[in-house]
Structure 1
Amino acid sequence: MAKAGPASVEFRNVSMRYGAVTAVDNISFTIEPGKLVTLLGPSGCGKTTTLRMIAGLEIASEGQVLIGGKDVTRLSAADRDVSMVFQSYALFPHMSVLENAAYGPLVKGLPKAEAQDMALAKLALVGLKGFEKRYPSELSGGQQQRVAVARALVLEPQVLLFDEPLSNLDAKLRRKVREEIRELQQSLNLTVAYVTHDQEEALAVSDRIIVMSNARIAQEGSPRELYEEPANSFVADFIGDANMVPVTISEVSEGIADVMIGSAKVKLPARGLVAGPAKAAIRPESLLMGPASGPGLRGTVRKCAYLGNHLDLMIETEVGELFVVQPGGRDLLPYGSEVGLSFANSGVTLIPQS
């Protein structure tokens, strides 16, 4: 079977309605061939429905879905060259690892020997050589996940879909498996659409991220763009932690704003804003702690927790309570300690008005 190569995925003004409920509301985006794009957002935002529309498991109410430039909007899942790895893995418990991986080609009518050869190649690829005769119940969660990936890869689909693939794994394994998925995607040049609600996972694996909120796209961009230049307070708060604080822009000149954060003065990219009240997002790691007599904001420690490689602090200031992360094995600060907070060169950003 000749491999078609990775394909693009394009949504043009796509909506999905269930009676009076709009699950996806007029969204447009493109996933370029060979890229991993994550659909990220809280429960009920429309990300899984979007993935299922790529798969053909849901048929869009309006708009067009294109795969490799071909309109597949009305095609069933069986007629699309895509494979999906489900959250539950959906392995057949009565079949061996090899039988699970060879299932797709057999259903397509390929001879058993050829189907098994294809399955063996993909099992080796995901590090399961020697596990062919085992059953799913004899595997760890991470190994079951790999069988599901091998089974999805065996037909060499143009697009591979992942629906919350790591949610059944513990934290340490989650990191390892997400690295494996990313490595596989890059080495095989696969087009991947990946759904998660875990923002750290999204930042770690994605070429681009589409953040969804209330059935719409809130923002899309590279992980760095979303973290450093959030389009609105929802994205700032959803991608990583952010302190949202009221600020005053005193003047704007050549795209740079003079901003008062309480009594502290900073210069920030204006992002289209003009003089007057505004909001800024301040990342916890961008607040630098020093003596109370130093420049910036003065604050009082309300909470201080030791987390191994960093301290988490809540500090009361004139602009409200701020969450601060201090790296390194510093000593705990007692409740009521007076500190000074200054601002790092990055991680402080004005939020454009929604």
Structure 2
Amino acid sequence: MMKSGPASVEFRSVTKRYGAVTSVDDVSFTIAPGTLVTLLGPSGCGKTTTLRLIAGLEIASEGRILIGGKDVTFLSAADRDVSMVFQSYALFPHMSVLENVAYGPTVQGMPKAKAHALAMEKLALVGLAGLERRAPSELSGGQQQRVAVARALVLEPQVLLFDEPLSNLDAKLRRRVREDIRELQLKLNLTVAYVTHDQEEALAVSDRIIVMSNARIAQSGTPHELYEEPASLFVADFIGDANLVDALVVEEREERALVRVGGLDLDLPRRGATRGPVKLAVRPEAILLAGAKPARPAIAARIAKAAYLGKHLEYTVESPLGELFVIDRVKNEPLVAGADVWLGFADRDVTIVPL
């Protein structure tokens, strides 16, 4: 099992520069031992550089990095008790699955028989017992991913790192493998830092999420906190495809506010907003469409595009609030492009975003 148990990871004002380009800018966070924390954000936001800084594949220009309370800022990758699962898996094609997994301990000087026994133990752990003699090319994408995980686990690291681990898999397999990774992390009590640009993936596997934008942390918190209480328009839009609409706080009611949007009045958590213009983040599922005018106040709109996706319907709606993206999971009678509709809002998933 783990040599010394899972470790915390701490960044203290870490900056990474490449010449004039700042890739990570004054970033501070802590990953608690035995938790899975996802670094989430669009391409170029600094998340992969942050992961490489934990791994020791990059060295910080400023600040301090601690693993298990030990300052590792200037230690090389080889001297850190960390393993990384790369996006490409980086398996050796000429070696069997067993040889791939046993490679790390063998290189570190472990006797071959012991390294193979340890490799077999980790292959069983990831559900690949019986496939140890195969070549990587004889495995499916999901199985190759598991070999890469077993190879990282065999070193029994204090911290396990994943760089976009599901990007080479098809949609159905992605869900299964992300569940496997989460299950393994919980079962083995591993500290995991996980990089992705896929917000659904991040919401599904994480204890906490660190959302990055332009080399800085935009917000960090639990999946629930980030989805329900985005701290900025960027986070609201990046997590959950929110529609961002203009509204007006017409009355402050202690912790709540009366908000007017498109002629409708909504009672919402105030989130520090004061009287005057605000932005609302409206989740696609929070917009309710009706073909006939309902009894309660509603906004006249028109369907611009309609798509049937099996489990739900997706609409692009032209409205006085602008173009809105709507998901209908109730699967009412499908509406067609060009149809006049009325829209209202659900009681949840409509949030004032602090400006």
TM-score using structure 2 length: 0.97
Amino acid at match of 2:342: G
Distance 2:330 2:277 in 1: 36
Partner deviation per Cα, 1:121-171 (whole Å, 9 max, x = no partner): 000000110111111111111111111100000011000000011111111
In the alignment, structure 1 residue 343 sits paired with structure 2 residue 345? yes
SS in 1 for 2:326: strand
Q: Conserved in 2, the CA contact under 8 Å of 1:292 and 1:299?
A: no
Q: Conserved in 1, the CA contact under 8 Å of 2:2 and 2:157?
A: no
Deviation at 1:2, TM superposition (A): 6.5
Alignment of 1:1-354 (within 5 A): 3-290=3-290, 291-294=292-295, 295-353=297-355
Distance 1:328 1:258 in 2: 28
Partner deviation per Cα, 1:202-248 (whole Å, 9 max, x = no partner): 11110100000000000001111111111111111111111100001
Where in structure 1 do 4 or more consecutive aligned residues deviate above 3 Å? none
TM-score using structure 1 length: 0.97
Residue-pair matches, total? 353
Distance 1:68 1:62 in 2: 20
Distance 1:278 1:120 in 2: 58
Q: Compare 281-290 and 176-185 and name the one that shifted more.
A: 281-290
SS in 1 for 2:288: strand
Amino acid at match of 1:39: L
CA gap 1:272/1:162 in 2 versus in 1, 3 angstroms:
same
Distance 1:131 1:293 in 2: 60
Distance 1:330 1:254 in 2: 37
Amino acid at match of 2:168: N
Amino acid at match of 1:82: V
Q: Conserved in 2, the CA contact under 8 Å of 1:305 and 1:332?
A: no
Partner deviation per Cα, 1:277-298 (whole Å, 9 max, x = no partner): 1110100101122332432322
Distance 1:337 1:225 in 2: 36
Distance 1:12 1:128 in 2: 39
Partner deviation per Cα, 1:21-69 (whole Å, 9 max, x = no partner): 0000000000000000000011110000000000000000000000001
Deviation at 1:329, TM superposition (A): 3.6
Deviation at 1:318, TM superposition (A): 1.8
Identity over aligned pairs, percent: 70
Deviation at 1:262, TM superposition (A): 1.2
Structure 2 residues not aligned, in runs of 5+: none
Amino acid at match of 1:56: G
Distance 1:224 1:188 in 2: 24
Q: CA RMSD in A?
A: 1.2
Amino acid at match of 1:292: K
Distance 1:80 1:240 in 2: 36
